Amino acid sequence: MTTKAERTTKYIIETVAPIFNKYGYVGTSMSHLTEATGLTKGALYGNFENKEALALAAFEYNRNLLLAKIDSVLGVEGTSLTKIGSLLSFYRQYDVFTMEMGGCPIINTGVDAQNNNTLLAAANKETIREVEGKIALVLENGINNGEMKIPVPPLQFAKQLYTILTGAAAMGTMTRDRKYLMNTVAYLDQLIDREIKK
């Protein structure tokens, strides 16, 4: 059974996570946070040491939502090619998935925190590595099972694949044009079918 303090902390994190993600660490003001939560500044800092700790907790909340979804997408039944296909299908709708989060936590936090918050920047970098590792594991299994061939080590290919997908998500966000995601995923579908599938 959770205590009242634990419930309050959870409520604060869930409420402010999309705000930090949307406005960034620097752009998020205390008035944003107090208005969204209905709590005073004192109540917020009674649960968190400072704004940096709250921002990190908010990022971790969003990152965990994203990683759980990627685990689910890569955990579908079937071959490694099926799993990569599932990942591409997810990215076709990535902007829809991240909308409630205030956008992509990797892109938003990565850019915002780079020169403003070393803890957030480090957590973001670690999350990128974790996603790339999950993709690389699927690729490695696909190679070992004789389903696919790739011209570079699995982790290198995973990094390239993730870079392309994240770049498409970033372009789609900046231009508000979903075609960046749709067209990139369609291209990757063809590339995998032509170049990787055995």
State pLDDT tens for residues 99-126.
Answer: 999 999 999 999 999 888 999 999 999 9
Q: How far is CA 95 from CA 53, 72, 102, 103, 195, in A?
A: 27, 17, 10, 7, 27
76: pLDDT confidence band, cut at 50, 70 and 90? very high
Question: Tell me: the pLDDT tens digits for 120-172?
Answer: 999 999 999 999 999 999 999 999 999 999 999 999 999 999 999 999 999 99
Of the candidate CATH numbers 3.30.365.10, 3.40.640.10, 2.30.30.100, 1.10.357.10, the domain formed by 57-196 belongs to 1.10.357.10
Q: Which residues pair with 197 in a beta bridge?
A: 148
% of the chain exceeding 90 in pLDDT: 87
Average pLDDT over residues 57-82: 97
Domain boundaries, the chain: 57-196
Average of per-residue pLDDT across 21-50: 92
Banded pLDDT at 5 (limits 50, 70, 90): confident
- List, as own/partner pairs, every contact residues 163-167 make where C-beta atoms lie below 8 angstroms and the sequence separation is at least 24, other chains included: 164/188, 165/88, 165/91, 165/94, 166/104, 166/106, 166/107
Round to whole Å and give the CA distance between 124 and 105.
8
pLDDT at 91 over 80: yes
User: What's the confidence (pLDDT) of residue 121?
Assistant: 95
Q: 141-154: string of b/e by CB count within 10 Å (b at 16+)? A: ebbeeebbebeeeb
